Each structure stands twice: as C-alpha cells, then as structure tokens.
Amino acid sequence: MFSLLINLLVVVVAFIVIHANEAMAAYVPPYTSMVVPVNKHTDAAKHLYSVQIMTSYVNMQFLHSNFLIDIDAPFIWHECILEWNMYRPDSCPADTLCTSPVSCEEYQCTDVRTSYAYENPFCPQPTNSSTLPGWGFCTCPVNVVNPVTGACDQALLNYDAYFFNTSDGRIPFDGFFGGYPNAACVPPSSLKSFPANVTGVMAFSTSQYALPEYLYQPLKKSFSICLPSTSSAHGVLFYGTGPYYLLPQSNVDLRSYLSYTPLLKHPDSFGYYIGVNAIVIKKRSINIPANAATKLSTIDPYTILRTDIYNSVVRRFSMVTKQIRPAKPVAPFGLCFSITSTNVTKASSKVPEIDFNLQGGKKWTMSRENSIKQVTNDVACLAFVDGGATNEPAIVIGTFQFEDNFLVFDLENSTFGFSSSLLHKQTSCANFNFTLTHGP
C-alpha cells in the first residue's frame, strides 16, 4: 500500500513538472526585448562605446553605471566594493556599488580561473591570500586586462546584479528585467585610462560568464548593437529577437534590412568571427586566404588588416580615387586625401564603396561614411590600418565600420546579421525613442 502511494505521488509530481515546463515554454512575455542606451566616448586614447545599465538600488532609486562594450571579454568587471555583510547599517558608502564576494572555495572561483581567465603572459598568478575584515573566508582574485592599455590587473570575483528596461522594440517600458552574473571588482586606479564616467567592462562574448548567458529567459539569446557616430546622442543595444524600430520610420522593422552570415568559433577566443572570402573595390576582387580569420571588435576603433591584405586594399583604393587630391598620411592611417569639410559631399561621389564578400554568399557594404575618416578640417583618410606582416587574426573589423550599422549577434543560431549604413535608409543609430512609458 505504501509503495502504491509513493508511485502515485511520483506520477502526480511528474505530471505537475511536465505541465509547468510546458507552461513556461508557452509563456509569451508582454515585451520582445530589453533595451539600454549606448554612448560614444571620445575622451580616451581611442574612441570607445559604453552601455548605461541600472545596478544597485540605493536611496529608493537605481544607480546607473556606464560599462565599456567588449564582445571579447570573458567576464564583467567594474569599480565596486566587496561587502560580505550587506545588512550591516551603513556598510556601503552612499552612491557606491557594493557587491557580495565569491569565496576562493566556491566552484565559480576555480571555474573562472581555469576556464575563463584572460590570456595574458604579463598577468600575475592569482593566490588565495586575501580576505575581508570580519569574513571567515578567502576572497577570489582573478586577472583582468584593460582594453584601453592592454595592462593586466587583479580583481575580486563577486555576485552581481543588473537591471534592464523592457521594450517592444519601439520604446522602453518602466518595468525591468534582472540579470545576476558573477563579475569582478576593481579599485578606481584600474580605470585611469578609461573615458570619464565609465566604471567598468561589460562582457558580451561567448563566455559562460558573459552577460548574454544570464539573460536568455524568457527571451532568446540574441543581442543587437547600433553604435552612434556622435557622442551627443545615444545609440541603442537590444537583447532579444526583435522587432526593432528607429525614428522616423516607426513602422519599418530593422530586421528587414539585414543580411546574415555564420558566426564562427575560434579555439583561443571568446569573441566573434566571420568568414571573409574577398574584399571588392569597384568590381576588382582582393581574395582573402582561406586560413585568414576575421574578428569583430568593439574595442579597436578601425579595421586592422594584415600587411599583405592592407597593401592590396590601399593599392586598389588609390587607383580608383586618382581624381581626389592626395594628402600626407596622418597616423595611424596610410592613405589620406585632401578633403575639406566644405567639399566632402563632392568628394563622396568619387569614393567607392568597399564590399566584404562573406561566407554564405552575402555582401557587407562599407559606404563612404564607414570607410573615410575626416581627421582634420582639410584631410580625410581611408579608415583601415596596417596591422603588420604577422597580424593574427588577419582582419579585425573595428567600430568605425560598425557605426550607424545595425548588427545582430544571434547566439542561438550562430549567425551575424548586418544592415550596412542606416544613413542610406534615412535613419541612424541615434534615432531610437528612449522616452520611458508604462509597460503593456
């Protein structure tokens, strides 16, 4: 009799679990994405971009912090204070982000150190010698690498929390969604080279400790970046599968502009790679070796080409722009033109598009806005940089080529979506309506 009751209980529990899972799978949230503003920063050694994210809830309101967008970083790190007793009165200074520590004895500590640590020969070997006052456990030091300088530093692993406004793709709602990743705390001295008001690095890589890994429910694992070309207006980052809209075309889903190519994996990186078969300039194709990897970067400001590829691109571009008066090169560029701010429109008609022919037969077009950089009032340059004869990867596509392009990293289907310049669609990445409204 007792055995019969046990078996009946097992059947009932299984029935409840199955139907609960079915209900969760069938659940359709009243929003389609999460959305955060993107800022362009021009006050560091190179142009960088950050997301503005809500962090801890202090004095009846959320703190907002800016984090550099890094699609290669293995985990999140930022300025904060570890506080093991968060409930102690006045334990955290006003307007300061305080988080809970991860002990060196917890599995996350070993996992991050052995599987997701930054690969850098100059990083010191982490130890378990640090502790917090009044805490009976060792903390978990981990290495981080500054994306601005390349310098290595140590941080302390923590338990973090971030909050995001939800959206229908047109406007943000006042409701929010939370993510609770492991991150790492650094002192203010680690951020000296960062742009003003940027206090950390937000990892959007393929690592198990990057932000996308913590946000996938109930949304599909996909994020979209639209980098602004100006520091005076916000770009936008979505998490979710869309739709996505920019003003003034409030009824045009940006997904209708996208072409797709496979995202490729690299054994030594958590970043994102695509296959480039050729670079085409005015119908002349520059073939790319089959073993040449192409990486996408939100840290490098301009596309970097290995010397053999760079020389071929410059040679061809020079040949088809003979009508534009050359100028003395301005570092870091090797090919420059005499294009003043007053005749830029006229010169644009003489600048050819640059097509990246991608795996799968698609073409990513770099228009004049993403290929020519105005560096002074009188000089503009081809925004491609010589990476050296042994540069690996052979091609790194940088942020100048991303600006005002809508880019989708679909992690579930391992595809990369790209729009080419939105300026030719009479909109830009600065045109999302961030007016907060009540949710549906």
pLDDT digits 0-9 by tens, 54-100: 987 767 778 899 999 999 999 999 999 998 887 676 677 777 788 99
- Binned at pLDDT 50, 70 and 90, residue 264 comes out as very high
In the three-class reduction of DSSP (H, G, I as helix; E, B as strand; rest coil), residue 211 is classed as helix
pLDDT band at residue 27 using 50, 70 and 90 as cut-offs: low
DSSP codes joined into one string, 229-245: SSTTS-EEEEEES----
Reported as a single tens digit per residue, the pLDDT across 152-165 is 999 999 999 999 99
Q: Convert the pLDDT of each residue in 305-356 to its tens digit.
A: 999 999 999 999 999 999 999 999 999 999 999 987 666 655 666 899 999 9
Q: What are the domain boundaries of the chain?
A: 33-240, 254-425
On whether the CB atoms of residues 237 and 33 are closer than 8 A, the answer is no
Question: Is the CB of residue 370 less than 8 Å from the CB of residue 383?
Answer: yes
Domain 33-240 carries which CATH code?
2.40.70.10
Spatial contact of 43 and 195, defined as CB atoms under 8 Å apart? yes
| Arch. (CATH architecture) of 254-425 | Beta Barrel (2.40)
Token digits of residue 211: 């932000």
* pTM, to two decimals: 0.91
Predicted pLDDT of residue 61 = 78
